[in-house]
Amino acid sequence: MSDNEEKGGEESAAGKRVDEEWKKQVQQEKRRLAEQDRTAQARRRRAGPQAGPAGPPPKPSFAQFLSGLATQVLISLGEVENPITRRREADLVQAQHTIDLLQLLEEKTKGNLTPQEENFLTNALHDLRLRYVRAAGQAGG
């Protein structure tokens, strides 16, 4: 066997050793990263829901739900800027539909609301109906 053949064989064996060592290091790194990921996931599960940039969201309430619907009516009446289009746009059909939803809620929850919730709903409906009549009058005349 010539010197070149022997060197080629040595280089080949050394190359295999390097490849095997590299594979071993990659596998160790994968295991380490997988363990870090499992640890981070477990930490997130224990921490529970995260607060947003403005802090934790308020506790859900019936009044908050009603406020959201009332805001939709105000947007549909064109009294509040539409957060998506950044314009004030009247859509009286949508406004009437949302007012009808609030009225339905009033009928379906009668006797099951706290006095504060009942007052909130009654006052919101009264105010929104007046605003609707005013907007419809302006649109028609």
pLDDT digits (tens, 9 = 90+) for 89-120: 999 999 999 999 999 999 999 999 999 999 99
Where do we find the tokens 């009928």? 107
Three-class secondary structure of residue 109 per DSSP:
coil
- pLDDT over 70 percentage in the chain: 80
Which pLDDT score, from 0 to 100, does residue 48 have? 63
The string of pLDDT tens digits covering residues 33-48 is 778 778 877 776 776 6
pLDDT score at 55: 79
Q: How far is CA 130 from each of CA 11, 15, 98, rounded to the nearest angstrom?
A: 90, 85, 14
Task: Tell the burial category of 92 from Cβ atoms under 10 Å away from its Cβ (0-12, 13-18, 19+).
Answer: middle
Backbone dihedral angles phi then psi of residue 2, each to the nearest 5 degrees: -80, 170
pLDDT the model gives residue 82: 92
Token readout for 133 is: 């009549």
